[in-house]
Amino acid sequence: MSQKREMTVWNQRFSILKQPIASVLNQHLIDYPTPSNLSYWWGFGSLASICLVIQIVTDIFLAMHYTPHVDLAFNSVEHIIRHVEGGWLLRYMHANGASMFFIVVYLHMFRGLYYASYSSPREFVRCIGVVIFLLMILTAFIGYVLPWGQMSFWGATVITSLASAIPVGGFSVDNVTLNRFFSLHYLLPFILVGASVLHLAALLQYGSNNPLGVHAEMDKIAFYPYFYVKYLVGWVSFAIFFSVWIFYAPNVLGHPDNYIPANPMSTPAHIVPEWYFLPVYAILRSIPDKAGGVAAIALVSICLLALPFMKSLYVCSSSFRPIYQGLFWLLLADHCLLGWIGCHPVEPPFATIGQISPLLFFLFFAILPLLGLVGRGIPHSYTDEPVAEKDPIVCDTNTPHFLE
Annotated binding residues, written as ranges, equal: 94, 108, 185, 199
- DSSP, collapsed to helix, strand or coil, labels residue 337 as helix
Could you give the CA distance from residue 155 to residue 142 in angstroms, rounded to a whole number?
A: 10
Closest of 360, 362, 375 to residue 323, by C-alpha: 375
Indicate left, alpha or beta for 85 from its phi (over 0: left) and psi (-120 to 50: alpha): beta
Q: Residue 344 gets which letter from DSSP?
A: S
- DSSP, collapsed to helix, strand or coil, labels residue 191 as helix
Could you give the CA distance from residue 221 to residue 223 in angstroms, rounded to a whole number?
A: 6
Structural element, H or E, at residue 220: strand 220-222
Q: How far is CA 202 from the centre of its chain?
A: 16
Contact in structure between 120 and 233 (CB atoms under 8 Å):
no
Annotated binding site for heme b: 94, 108, 185, 199
Annotate 319-354 with b (16+ C-beta within 10 A) or e (fewer). Answer: ebbeebeebbeebeebbebbbbbbebeeeeebeebb
Contacts of 350 (CB under 8 A, 6+ apart): 341, 344
Q: What angle separates helix 175-206 from helix 123-145, to the nearest 10 degrees?
A: 160
Could you give the CA distance from residue 134 to residue 139 in angstroms, rounded to a whole number?
A: 9
Residue 309 carries which side chain, given as an amino acid letter? Answer: F
- DSSP, collapsed to helix, strand or coil, labels residue 35 as strand
Closest of 276, 305, 271, 299 to residue 161, by C-alpha: 271
**Pairing of the two strands 33-35 and 220-222:** antiparallel
Could you give the CA distance from residue 236 to residue 46 in angstroms, rounded to a whole number?
A: 12
Could you give the CA distance from residue 10 to residue 13 in angstroms, rounded to a whole number?
A: 5
Could you give the CA distance from residue 401 to residue 391 in angstroms, rounded to a whole number?
A: 13
